[in-house]
Amino acid sequence: MNHKSLSSTLKCFVAKLLFPAALAAASLGAQAAPLKVGYSDWPGWVAWQVAIEKGWFKEAGVDVKFEWFDYSASMEAFAAGKLDAVTMTNGDALVTGSGGGKSIMLMLTDYSNGNDMIFAKPGIKSLKDLKGKKVAVEVGLVEHLLLVNGLKKAGLKESDVTLVNAKTNEVPQVFASSDIAAGGAWQPVSGEALKAVPGSRPIYTSADEPGLIYDVLAVNPGSAKSRKADWAKMLKVWDKVVAYINDPKTQPDAVKIMAARSGVSPADYLPLLKGTHFLSIEDGKKIYVKGNDFKSLYGSTKIVNEFNVANKVYPKAENIDSYLDPSFTFGK
């Protein structure tokens, strides 16, 4: 899974697009066409595959076409006006939007609950033990944010460690270097890193800060307005998906479907569910409220916005209210 990575190439790509024109073009004649949704390899998004294979969209009366992408490519396609919606993190919605690819976070699908992690070599028991040591993360992405959040809780500052900037998919190799004490990545990359260094283990994960990383269905504003009834049907289908995954009787079938989409065995895929907290629409209502901390989508997005500016992901703060519309979640 190439989850939550947004390269500088993508940011440049988005910045050069004439997105308003693409937005207008996407809206024209949209009523007659299927909704196009880009999704990628993260459990909270692969879950849509269950609805696809069960025929639930047809049952709900919504014409939708899901298109499979690598994560960054899905955001590029959305920014180019080739998709009506894309699955991404709340933080990456801001990054894509900062270059012109604006979206509305229609609903929450899940939050990372352990799949994102900071891991360390044998002998390092906690984040406090990292003081004065080197940590490999991709600077500016969510594992960097996770590390900073954990260090603060441990009474340390970012300057108390030395960051070694590494592409997330290269972290396992960098982590194996003799001078690197710890690293950060999401599954399955984090699992690869742990295998690369025997005896290494997670010392801080997204389960320690629920809501640090929210995953959403982000929709083209024009489509959200012109196809509101269809998007409302999508939310109802999502509730069926979450119930099917969470029900012990049907979970094995759900895992089989999701694993096949990701190209791994059900046995290998099942543990990834534990690190993903799926959110029903009712669950989403408790999170899609005003707030200043990670318990709120507003608070989480505000914190990520500040982090992105501080790390020069984009030059000035985004207006987060323009990305957040809880009316779909609350059925208004």
When pLDDT is averaged across residues 14-39 and rounded to a whole number, the result is 60
pLDDT digits 0-9 by tens, 278-299: 999 999 999 999 999 999 999 9
pLDDT digits 0-9 by tens, 136-172: 998 888 899 999 999 999 999 999 999 999 988 899 9
| Eight-class DSSP state of 288 | S
Give the pLDDT confidence score for residue 332 in this predicted structure. Answer: 77
The yes-or-no verdict on residue 24 having pLDDT over 70 is: no
Give the pLDDT confidence score for residue 32 in this predicted structure. Answer: 54
Cα–Cα dist 245/234, whole Å: 17
Where does the pLDDT of residue 220 fall: very low under 50, low under 70, confident under 90, or very high at 90 and above? Answer: very high
Where does the pLDDT of residue 71 fall: very low under 50, low under 70, confident under 90, or very high at 90 and above? Answer: confident
When pLDDT is averaged across residues 261-280 and rounded to a whole number, the result is 94
User: Who has greater pLDDT, 223 or 25?
Assistant: 223
The yes-or-no verdict on residue 15 having pLDDT over 50 is: no
| Eight-class DSSP state of 154 | T
CATH numbers and ranges of domains, the chain: 8-112+211-322 (3.40.190.10), 116-208 (3.40.190.10)
When pLDDT is averaged across residues 268-286 and rounded to a whole number, the result is 95
Give the pLDDT confidence score for residue 175 in this predicted structure. Answer: 98
